[in-house]
Amino acid sequence: MDFVIATHNNNKVKEFKRILEPLSVNVAEAEFGEVKETGSTFAENAFLKAEAACRQTGKPAVADDSGLMVEALGGAPGVFSARYAGENAADADRIAKLLENLKSVPKSGRGAKFVCSICCVFPDGSKVTAQGECRGDIAFSAQGSGGFGYDPVFLVGEKTFAQLTPYEKDSISHRGKALRAFAAKLKSHMENVNI
C-alpha cells in the first residue's frame, strides 16, 4: 500500500523516505491543495494536513507538524515556527529573528526542544499518531551547512543539527523518533485491520 506524504517541503519528503522506506512503508508524493494550519498544537495541525490529503487523494496520508520551542521565549515560536518571521520568510530570516530575540539570554538559559507530531489518516477514517522530541540548546550563531529550518542554531552537545550527517540527525532528531514510533504503531494498526 502506498502512503501519501502530506507536505510541500522537499526536505521533509527526503527525511520521511529515508526513515520510513527501510521499515517497509512505501511513501509517494501526490498533488493536493494547501491546508491552513489553524490548530493550536502540532498534533492538531498534523491531523488537519493528513485528513485533507487523504480526502483529496483517496489514499492513506501521512503528515507531520513540527517546530522549535524555546524555553526563554515561553515555548515560542512553537506552532508558528515556519511563520515566525512572516508568511514568506526564508530560513535565514527566521534564524535571524530568533537570535535577535535571544541576544541577551546567556548560554545557561538557551534550552530548547524540537517537537514533531505525525498523523496518518486512512480512507476509512481511522488514524495513527506519534510524537517525538529532541532537547538541545540555541547557539549564539548559525553553524553548519546541512539540514534546514532552525538546524544551524539547534545544538545537541557540541554540534548543531546542520553539522550532523543526515543519518546522525535521523538517529536523534524529533522527526526520526516520531517516525520510528509511528512505523511501529502503523505495523500494529495494519495487522489489526487485516484480522
CA 45 to chain centre: 11
Question: Residue 129: pLDDT above 90?
Answer: yes
d(CA 28, CA 7) in angstroms, rounded, equals: 11
Supply the DSSP symbol for 94: H
Can you give the pLDDT at residue 137?
98
Instruction: Dump strand ranges (E) for 18-141.
Output: 26-28, 61-70, 111-121, 127-138
Looking at the chain, the whole-number percentage of residues with pLDDT higher than 90 is: 68
Give per-residue pLDDT as tens, 15-48: 788 777 776 777 877 777 788 889 999 999 999 9
Our answer to whether residue 65 is catalytic in this structure is yes
Q: From 3.90.950.10, 3.30.360.10, 2.120.10.30, 3.10.110.10, which CATH number describes the 2-194 domain?
A: 3.90.950.10
Length of the chain: 195
Rounded average pLDDT over 179-195: 80
pLDDT of 194 > 70? The answer is: no
As a whole-number percent, the residues of the chain with pLDDT over 70 amount to 97
Alpha helix stretches (DSSP H) within 26-172: 42-57, 91-101, 166-172
Contact call for residues 137 and 188 (beta carbons, < 8 A): no
What are the tens digits of pLDDT across the range 66-76?
999 999 999 99
Report domain extents, the chain.
Answer: 2-194
b/e code 21-59 from CB counts within 10 Å (16+ = b): eeeebebeeeebeebebebeebbebbbbbbbbbbebbeb
Mean pLDDT of the 139-161 span = 96
**Higher-pLDDT residue of 153, 32:** 153
Q: For residues 182-193, give the mean pLDDT.
A: 83
Q: How far apart are CA 186 and CA 193, in angstroms?
A: 10
C-alpha cell at 55: 480526502
Indicate whether 148 pLDDT > 80.
yes
Give φ, ψ of 145 to 5 degrees.
-120, 0
Sequence-separated (6 or more) residues with CB below 8 Å from residue 125: none
What confidence score (pLDDT) does residue 122 get? 94
Of 64, 65, 137, 151, which one is the catalytic site residue? 65
Mean pLDDT of 151-172: 95
When pLDDT is cut at 50, 70 and 90, the band that residue 195 belongs to is: very low
